Amino acid sequence: MSAGTGTVSMHGNRFRHNFLTALLLAPATVWLVVFLVLPFIAIAVFSVGERAPEGGYQAAFTLAQYANLPARATAFWNTMVLAPVGALACLLVAYPVAYYLALQAPQRWRLILLALVVIPFWTSLLMRTYAWMYILGGRGIPALLAFVGIEDVRLINTPGAVLLGIVYGYLPLMILPIYVSLERLDRRLLEASADLGATPLSTFLGVTLKLSLPGVMTGFSLVMILLLGEYLIPTLLGGGKVFFIGNALVDLFLQSRNWPFGSAIAITLVLVSVVVLIVANRISNRVAGARRVDLI
């Protein structure tokens, strides 16, 4: 009898426990279903449809849209180049900043400096990019150059301007994860490395950099995923001359109104992003996880 009662109450506990878990998960689940799963299903359905004669969607079942993907091969290719190159440029600028913040900056300044990194995020990226349009445009730096006698310099609508905008726009996303991983670094490892005769450079390469790799990989994949869908910065700072997959999507939905083809590209882009994430994760785990060093 007593055993039976115990089982019942255990069941009751488990039920209560499960019920509570479900209740706590409900808001997030509803959110994901309404704003992620349902739109995704809609896009998947659109992607096997046809463009109506005047644009929009017309029900059908065809893989023609996917077969047509090569028509946007250039846009895909441009994106595949931009994403890693942009993320790499971001990394090269972000790492020294994160290093300084985590290991060099005086303790009392650290919080203020971190805040300075984050504060620009409070302003819309669009506005900040517009500021760059002005700075790089004819009334900005070129006007200053003309003042000292260098005429007709053009900075806006160049690949350099796009790269600058991307590094500027995504820098905080790269700095923060690297900062976190560097900040947690056990400094005794650095001392140990020095004690064992390593030069500062080999200590940096062999210890600091290696141990911060998870942060680097997190920042890198974060920025890269966002760059895969980037369209604002190339449009504003590149003059709409360079065409990324994000630009292709905007045009397909807002100009030629080819929803099915746009949906097929969107699905493909999501799949590519997932693959990129998985690969980045694998690399990150292999590089960082396999060589985990703990003092204890």
Interface residues with other proteins (CB under 8 A)? 51, 53-56, 71-72, 74-75, 78, 124, 126-127, 130, 133-134, 137-139, 142-143, 154, 156-157, 236, 239-241, 243, 247-248, 251-258
Q: How far is the CB of 112 from other proteins (least distance, A)?
A: 24
| Largest distance between two CA atoms of the chain | 99
Q: State which amino acid sits at residue 295.
A: L
Calpha distance 219→210 (Å, rounded): 15
Q: Which residues pair with 258 in a beta bridge?
A: 56
Token pair for 22: 């479900």
Q: How far is the CB of 130 from other proteins (least distance, A)?
A: 5
Calpha distance 155→160 (Å, rounded): 8
Calpha distance 68→75 (Å, rounded): 13
Radius of gyration of the chain (CA): 25
Which residue lies nearer to other proteins by CB, 181 or 247? 247
Calpha distance 165→122 (Å, rounded): 17
Q: How far is the CB of 144 from other proteins (least distance, A)?
A: 9
Q: State which amino acid sits at residue 170.
A: Y
Which residue lies nearer to other proteins by CB, 73 or 295? 73
Token pair for 57: 């969607």
Which residue lies nearer to other proteins by CB, 54 or 195? 54
Q: How far is the CB of 250 from other proteins (least distance, A)?
A: 10
Which residue lies nearer to other proteins by CB, 110 or 128? 128
Which residue lies nearer to other proteins by CB, 50 or 177? 50
Q: How far is the CB of 138 from other proteins (least distance, A)?
A: 3
Placement of tokens 């190159």 in the chain:
85
